[in-house]
Structure 1
Amino acid sequence: MDHVDATAPADEEPHARVEGDQRPDDEVSWDDGLIARRVTEGGPPREAPARGTTSGPPAPLAYDGPLRSRLDALRELVGLSRARLDNQTLAEAARVLDEAGARRKLSGQHTVVAIAGATGSGKSQLFNTLAGVPISETGVRRPTTAAPIACSWSDGAATLIDRLGIPGRLRRRPLQSAEAEAQLRGLVLIDLPDHDSAAVQHREHVDRVLKLVDAVIWVVDPEKYADAALHERYLRPMAGHAEVMIVVLNQTDRLPAEATEQILDDLRRLLDEDGIALGEYDEPGATVLALSALTGDGVGDLRETLGKIVAERGAAARRVSADVDAAAVGLRPVYAAGQGVGLSEEAREEFSGRLADAVGATAAGEAAERAWLRSANRACGTPWLRLWRWYQDRGGPQTGSLPVRRQTDAEATARQRVEQAVRTVSDQAAAELPTPWAQAVREAAVRGSQGLSESLDELAEQAGLPPGRPPRPGWWPVAVLVQAAMTLLQIVGGAWLVGQIAGVLSPNLGVPVLLMLCGIVGGPLVEWGCRLAARGPARRYGQEAERRLREAAASCGRARVLDPVAAELLRYREVREQYGRIAGVGVGR
């Protein structure tokens, strides 16, 4: 059959017919830039340019509550993930959102169905048979169909066809009986180029339009129904779209009845291997039919199936839902994680403990305890011992090269401990996360750790020992007075003995010797008793100093590292919850 030119003489323009008007079939015209094909006796098919629209714009498509909720969740997921995942990972999800939004604004009264098939499968002939008039070119030359052609059974589909990028010269209207027209009212049928065409542009047309239509009719023939290119490139990737697919075995007129059934069974087996659910026994899935577009055998079944799809007006929403399912499957590797996502309390305490060790909290507590004991010894010790210690402290070296070098080494070791603590806690937080989110958690921890060692040093100085002497308990003044009394007894006893030796005082060794012995023995006893009594307060003072330093280190680590890591984990949980709404499954915590 020869291809019909897309232009027609003006004097051949048919008379207008308003939709629903009972005028003869030879008085028709259509809106939306569609061109009515008509067959006249004794001449080739002609085209008539469109007239103005006869009705208002059709109502836009409406999604039900669950689908709207899934689209909202997908939109939220993409928004929360843009700063964490690359654009390529989110490209398909973003495309689904864009296409779903664009389709929702267009007619909900129309269903766009594409006819796709391989070279020689007879899809253009089936297209013409459904339209009731030769529209798409058929013939031996391959490829025959070079660009998508649209045929609409009712008005108001212009914006839908515009979305497919089909120009006005490739838009048609069927010419058929009123009964057939009423059965398919609202159908927009698209004849696609061959998906296995040698021309790259043809295959690009197929791939582009297949992403935009509401349903697809796959036309296969007895020779190429098992073609690997069809199954691997199209059917298998679109397995989730089974509910908006019709698989048609064409050219059954070339086969005996038993061969047709055998091929249909084998075709169903291949579709099952592709993961495509078959809509048998009223179950949701793809419809499989056998027909002959040449003889018309079985075309009525296909027309009836299309009529049901168009009448229920749910194919567009099912297509969008299947696209959301496919996007969820593609995103699963970056949102599927174990149930133990997050930092345990044990991990947080371990991190705080590592920082406290790095800042020397234990050593600071021990130093504070020793300082308290030294202060007690100074206050309660014998004057002679304090004088000896003062002399030693005064004569000893204040600093030197060795202590400075040890301080530098200690700072380097502390910095290494801080870095190790940050690496450990970030690895624990990212252990169950997918790679992109694990990387985001580690980067947040690294950013927070910058300058952490210096901040800990400043906190150690602020939270360390307070200036001046440690606080004294209430019994210290009594101990000081007792120690002073013991010293006074030694002095009085000694002076008494000296006076007796000098002859100033009368000889009496018992009393001065007793006084001196009391002072000599009592002073160390008082010092020893005070040292025993000071252990408890000194220990508590050291523990308090260690606690302050640990809390300061933990607060600094929490603000700089744990809080940013927790924010990333919270963001992931939020996105994961959205993914659960999209995929229709619970993802846990």
Structure 2
Amino acid sequence: MTAVAADVHADGLIWDDGLIARRARPDGGPSVPAAASPWEDAEHARNRARPAADGRWEGGWEDWAEAGARTRAAGDEEPLRERLRALRELVGLSRTRLDGEVLAEAGRVLEEAAARRRLSRTYTAVAVAGATGSGKSTLFNTLAGVQLSETGVRRPTTSVPVGCVWEAEWDSGADGLLERLGVPPRARRRVQPRDPALKGLVLVDLPDHDSAAPGHREQVDRLLKLVDAVVWVTDPEKYADAVLHERYLRPLAGHAEVTFVVLNQVDRLPSDTVEVVMDDLRRLLDEDGMALGEHGEPGATVLALSALTGEGVDELRRSLGALASRRRAAELRMSADVDGAVARLRPVYMVDTPHGPAGLTERAREDFEDRLAAAVGASAAGQTAERLWLRHAEQACGTPWARLLRWYEARRGCGEKAGAPAKAGEESAEAPTVARPVLAQAVRTLADEASAGLPRPWAKSVRDAAWRGAEGLPEALEEAVAGLGDEGGEGAAGDGARDAGREARMPRPRWWTAAACAQWLMLVVQLLGLYLLVDLFAGGPGRGGVWLPVGLLAGGALGGPLLAWCCRIAARGPARAYGMAREHRLRRLATGWGQAWVLEPVAAELLRYREVREQYVIAAGGTARA
């Protein structure tokens, strides 16, 4: 570079010979290294900033411009880094829920992105691909300016990939990139760039993608997944080849920003037909879904050239130089790879429904709790407890004669039951207290409602979580209900002996005792009236006449049943409250076990889906929604 006169600018920059730059303090103090500039990034500071013997910092305007470009590129990579992190989280959260084949492509994209990010971003790897006889290797040699790749009539000419490196003096990381691409050392060439914009360009000549030689197509397919950009070379005879469009251009339509499509050998066409063929080529690319970079829009670059005569090659060289100087081809390629992987994962994470997945709604929870309560017989247990309370109240507040009659019937019933022979096949064990069909229906309904609107794999995961939790739920509920009955003297169902035990442990209000005393008093009045009446008929003194004994006898006989009827009316409210309390206890018990065994696993699975959905939105380039 030609030296220029020193020029002191207002911002304090002193330019010596165009290669040495420093920032001088206005007060004449020690100079501050150029690496302290905000344009200088860490990588450039490590590789380039070296203090000279006089304390000045070596580096030129081109280095500063490179550092600024790389710093801006690093800022542009922040969204990509976040998307890759989200995709990694997405794969990790989904690994046990989805089939490995579904996540295989996303895993490959993550591995390739990690491998590419470990290599130098100073270099941009561009593959030159094409069909047999398209002039691919000739164009490669023309761009390189030297004969590097074999050309000739024999087909296929290129059997191994050939790499050409336009070296960047501050970075020697091209070898790692070529090793990743599998370019053998004997097929690597380095050239000094005549155009500074080509610094950092790594051009790779690929074997023919339609070659009949074994292994060539596999090499092309492998390398196309690793390079940062592709130059597709076609000719007037094969530009509409179905293999090119269906196997390569259409699947890679999302990589339009790092794709060049050149129509080679235009020297073989009449000048008035070149634009006709180019328009037809653009039409085919549009049908492939590939955006075209025209009118300043991002997309594929489509050019017409002749590698033999050099027509249009300079325009391609300038386009490649612009791509290499921006240092963004690797990021654009990785972004396109992430876009493709995310787009193919969309059916397993997103469903285009108007309202989205419903999840565990309040109505679904309440319906599940109601069904669980029905399965353990909460309502029936409450009604049974209410009837037992009323019967206990009737026994406590009833007439002594009624008590005597019930005692006699109970003795006779016990005797008949003890003397009756057991029926054949009669089971001595109690029937289960949990209605299993009702419980299964509750779990099935909950699973269906919770998984409504979810993608098929996650809907299956939610249903599986519900049924796994429901496997041991009936036994757990039966044991819990039995424990509740033993503790409180109550159960959902039982025989007469258990009812008697419950009555013995049932709470006894004080007014029952008062009513029982009143009933005994009524019995005493009846007996006194009967005694007086008998004494009167037997010729006793009969003081007060016949009306006193008849009144005492009638009053005692009518007062007892009347008092029992009033007590029965008064006991309905407490009996209802007692039955409802029993029902609520069973409902709470069933709800607690159902929540621990079914609701919580389902909620955890829905939370996992919500997390992966948010990560999917980030990986897709959007903003995570709650």
C-alpha spacing 1:412/1:532, structure 2 compared with 1 (3 Å): closer
- 1:540 equivalenced with 2:557 (yes/no): no
Q: Structure 1: which 5+ residue stretches go unaligned?
A: 1-19, 21-53
**Which residue in 2 is equivalent to 1:556?**
593
Aligned to 1:441: 462
- 1:402–1:267 Cα change, 3 Å: farther
| Cα distance change, pair 139–341 in 1 and its aligned pair in 2 (3 A) | farther
Deviates more, 1:197-206 or 1:367-376: 197-206
Tell me if structure 2 keeps the 8 A contact 1:193–1:203.
yes
Residue 493 of structure 1, aligned match among 529, 543, 568: 529
Between the two proteins, the alignment pairs up a number of residues equal to 533
Map of 2:125 onto structure 1? 112
Correspondence list, 1:90-105, <5 A: 90-105=103-118
Measured against aligned partners, the alpha-carbon deviations of 1:497-553 in whole angstroms (never above 9, x if no partner) come to: 233344455464221111111110000000000000001110111111111111111
Q: CA deviation at 1:586?
A: 5.8
Q: Does 1:208 align with 2:222?
A: yes
Q: Is 1:226 aligned with 2:243?
A: no
Answering whether residue 583 of structure 2 is matched by residue 583 of structure 1, we say: no
2:187 alignment partner in structure 1: 170
The offset of 1:333, in angstroms, is: 0.9
Q: Does 1:136 align with 2:136?
A: no
TM-score normalized with structure 2 length: 0.81
Provide the rounded CA distance (Å) in 1 between the counterparts of 2:423 and 2:273.
99
Query: Partner letter of residue 223 of structure 2?
Result: V
Equivalents in 2 of 1:405, 1:586: separation in Å?
64
In the alignment, structure 1 residue 349 sits paired with structure 2 residue 371 = no
Q: How far does the alpha carbon of each residue in 1:421-444 deviate from its partner, in whole angstroms, 9 at most, with x for none?
A: 112211222221112111211111
Q: Distance in 1 between matches of 2:472 and 2:594?
A: 11
Q: Take 1:398 and 1:115, find their aligned partners in 2: how far apart are those partners?
A: 99
- Matched position secondary structure for 1:64: helix
SS at match of 1:248: strand
CA distance in 2, matches of 1:268, 1:98: 34
Aligned to 1:290: 304
* Counterparts in 2 of 1:473 and 1:402: CA distance versus 1, 3 Å: farther
Confirm or deny: 8 A CA contact 2:357 2:451 kept in the other structure. no
- Counting aligned pairs with the same residue, the percent is 59
User: CA contact under 8 A between 2:375 and 2:435: conserved in structure 1?
Assistant: yes
C-alpha distance in structure 2 between counterparts of 1:505 and 1:118, whole Å: 141
1:419 maps to what in 2? 440
Shift of 1:170: 1.2
Whole-Å separation in 1 of the counterparts to 2:364 and 2:299: 49
Q: Is the 8 A contact 1:99 1:212 kept in 2?
A: yes
- Cα distance, 1:402 vs. partner? 10
1:67 to partner: Cα distance: 1.1
1:281 aligns with 2:317: no
Task: Please give the secondary structure, in 1, of the residue aligned with 2:231.
Answer: strand
CA contact (8 A) 1:493 1:515 kept: yes
> Normalising by structure 1, what TM-score?
0.86
CA change 1:196–1:401 in 2 (3 A) is farther
| Deviation sequence 1:138-161 (CA, Å, 0-9, x none) | 111111111111110104301111
Q: In 2, distance between residues paired with 1:403 and 1:374?
A: 33
Q: Please give the alpha-carbon distance, in whole angstroms, between the structure 1 residues aligned to 2:224 and 2:568.
A: 90
Q: For 1:456 and 1:491, how far apart are their aligned partners in 2?
A: 54
Q: How far apart are residue 200 of structure 1 and its match?
A: 3.7
Return closer, same or farther for 1:401/1:570 CA change in 2, 3 Å cut-off.
Answer: farther
Per-residue CA deviation, residues 547-570 of structure 1 (Å, 9 max, x unaligned), is 111111111111101110110010
Distance of aligned partners of 1:402 and 1:529 in 2 relative to their CA distance in 1, 3 Å threshold = farther
Structure 1 position 198 matched with structure 2 position 219: no
Cα deviation, residue 587, structure 1: 7.4
Mapped to 2, the partners of 1:112 and 1:462 lie a distance apart of 73
Per the TM alignment, residue 206 of structure 1 is displaced from its structure 2 partner at its CA by 0.6
1:87 aligns with 2:123: no
Q: Distance in 2 between matches of 1:412 and 1:426?
A: 24
Q: For the aligned residues, what is the CA RMSD?
A: 2.5
Q: Could you say if the C-alpha distance between residues 170 and 444 of structure 1 is closer, same or farther in structure 2, counting changes exceeding 3 Å? A: same
Structure-2 separation of matches of 1:360 and 1:481: 37
Structure 1 stretch displaced more, 475-484 or 384-393: 475-484
**How far apart in 2 are the matches of 1:116 and 1:395?**
103
- Residues 428 and 200 of structure 1: is their aligned pair in 2 closer, same or farther, counting only changes over 3 Å? farther
2:359 and 2:452 map into 1 onto residues whose CA distance is: 9
**1:429 maps to 2:470:** no
Q: Distance in 2 between matches of 1:472 and 1:99?
A: 79
Residue type of the alignment partner of 1:297: E
Distance of 1:275 and 1:159 partners within structure 2 = 34
Query: How far apart are residue 417 of structure 1 and its match?
Result: 1.4
Are 1:354 and 1:418, in contact at CA under 8 Å, matched by a contact in 2? yes
The structural deviation recorded for 1:294 is 0.6
Q: Secondary structure at the match of 1:225?
A: coil
SS at match of 2:194: helix
Unaligned runs of 5+ in 2: 1-18, 20-46, 50-65, 490-501
Paired residues of 1:107 and 1:160 also in contact (CA < 8 A): yes
Which residue number corresponds to residue 194 of structure 2? 179
Which residue number in structure 1 is paired with residue 480 of structure 2? 459
Secondary structure (helix, strand or coil) at the match of 1:188 reads strand
Partner SS for 1:499: helix
Q: Show the counterpart of 1:23.
A: none
Cα distance in 2 for residues equivalent to 1:296 and 1:398: 114
C-alpha spacing 1:188/1:119, structure 2 compared with 1 (3 Å): same
1:406 is displaced (CA, Å) by: 12
Deviation at 1:394, TM superposition (A): 2.6
Confirm or deny that 1:322 pairs with 2:336. yes
Q: For 2:157 and 2:342, locate their aligned partners in 1 and report how far apart those are by CA, in whole Å.
A: 37
Instruction: Give the Å deviation of 1:179.
Output: 2.7
Question: Do 1:371 and 1:470's aligned partners in 2 also have CA atoms closer than 8 Å?
Answer: no
**Structure 1 residue 174, shift from structure 2 partner:** 3.1
Could you tell me which residue of structure 1 aligns to residue 518 of structure 2?
482
Q: Are 2:300 and 1:264 aligned?
A: no
CA distance 1:523–1:104, shift in 2 (3 Å): same
Cα pair 1:375 1:469 within 8 Å, conserved: no
